[in-house]
């Protein structure tokens, strides 16, 4: 019902028409994201004291912002979705973003492009101290960035560009975080594939991340 209402508003105010097929797809995706958010909530409640604080999203140190990024692939359509969420030391959202790129079918390349997009956003916002976080899917990219010497792999040109930007900004770091600490970015990259276009929200985000944002803000221990 919510999607029907939003479809009507998009037509009236934005002159954008979503077909019934797109409406059903968006509603289904929203339902799946809601279920995912609920499972995350249940999992956190059950795990409780089982060292969960080390896996959850951690607030950055004072004066630092944290940029979580993630990427997902639609192998059938050969496209990728990008999810980025930038938050301050209080857990407040500064920017959240979704983006899609065509002709991408390699996970490592997708993670590289997602990180590059998050770097671009932080450059545009002139953020001075940033901690970039990616999960296990980005481990190969994070390791490549941390190595000395020129990267000779097939995606070395992207890695070298990222390393150059990080080197020029001594208060920018790229770190690994468990999937449980990257849930918002994960939901956003899935949402990006549904949207099919770039979307940026300032000091807010789409409805699919609202529950997890609140959990991260109020239930996690400051990092």
In the CATH hierarchy, which fold is given to the domain comprising 52-219? Nucleotidyltransferase; domain 5 (3.30.420)
pLDDT for 139 equals: 82
Which residue, among 65, 186, 56, has the nearest Cα to 119 in the 3D structure? 65
Q: Which pLDDT score, from 0 to 100, does residue 5 have?
A: 80
**CA gap 4, 8 in Å, rounded:** 6
- Least Cα distance to 82 among 211, 175, 202, 200 occurs for 200
Say how many C-beta atoms besides its own lie within 10 A of residue 138's C-beta: 26
* CA 115 centroid distance within chain: 9
Contact between 45 and 37 under an 8 Å Cβ cutoff? The reply is no
Q: How far apart are CA 44 and CA 51, in angstroms?
A: 10
* DSSP for 105-152, written as a single string: --HHHHHHHHHHHHHHHHHHTT-SSEEEEE-GGGHHHHHHHHSSS---
State the DSSP string of 171-220: TEEEEE--GGG-HHHHHHHHHHHHH-S-EEEES---GGGHHHHHHHHHHS
User: Per DSSP, what are the bridge partners of residue 68?
Assistant: 85, 133
Q: How far apart are CA 38 and CA 118, in angstroms?
A: 27
Query: Chunked in runs of 10, what are the mean pLDDT values of the chain (223 residues)?
Result: 80 80 75 58 46 72 96 90 96 95 89 94 94 88 83 77 89 91 94 92 91 83 46
Question: What Rg do the C-alpha atoms of the chain give, in angstroms?
Answer: 18
Q: What are phi and psi of 200, to 5 degrees?
A: -125, 135
Can you give the pTM of this predicted structure? 0.73
Q: For residue 50, what pLDDT is reported?
A: 42
* Residue 32 pLDDT: 61
CB count in 10 Å sphere of residue 4: 11
For the chain, the farthest-separated pair of C-alpha atoms sits apart, in whole angstroms, at 55
């Amino acid at each position: 019902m919510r999607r029907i209402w939003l479809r009507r508003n998009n037509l009236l105010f934005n002159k954008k028409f979503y077909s019934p097929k797109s409406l059903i797809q968006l509603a289904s995706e929203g339902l799946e994201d809601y279920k995912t958010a609920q499972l995350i909530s249940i999992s956190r409640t059950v795990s409780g004291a089982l060292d969960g604080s080390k896996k959850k999203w951690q607030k950055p140190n004072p004066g630092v912002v944290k940029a979580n990024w993630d990427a997902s692939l639609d192998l059938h359509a050969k496209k990728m979705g990008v999810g980025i969420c930038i938050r301050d030391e209080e857990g407040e959202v500064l920017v959240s973003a979704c983006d899609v790129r065509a002709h991408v079918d390699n996970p490592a390349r997708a993670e590289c492009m997602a990180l590059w997009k998050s770097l671009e956003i932080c450059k545009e916002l002139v953020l001075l101290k940033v901690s970039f976080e990616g999960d296990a899917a980005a481990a190969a990219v994070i390791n490549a960035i941390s190595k000395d010497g020129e990267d000779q792999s097939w995606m070395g040109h992207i890695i070298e560009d990222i390393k150059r930007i990080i080197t020029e900004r001594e208060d920018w770091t790229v770190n690994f975080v468990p999937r449980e600490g990257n849930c918002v970015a994960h939901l956003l990259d899935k949402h990006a594939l549904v949207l099919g276009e770039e979307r940026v929200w300032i000091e807010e985000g789409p409805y699919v991340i609202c529950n997890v944002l609140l959990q991260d803000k109020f239930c996690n221990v400051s990092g």
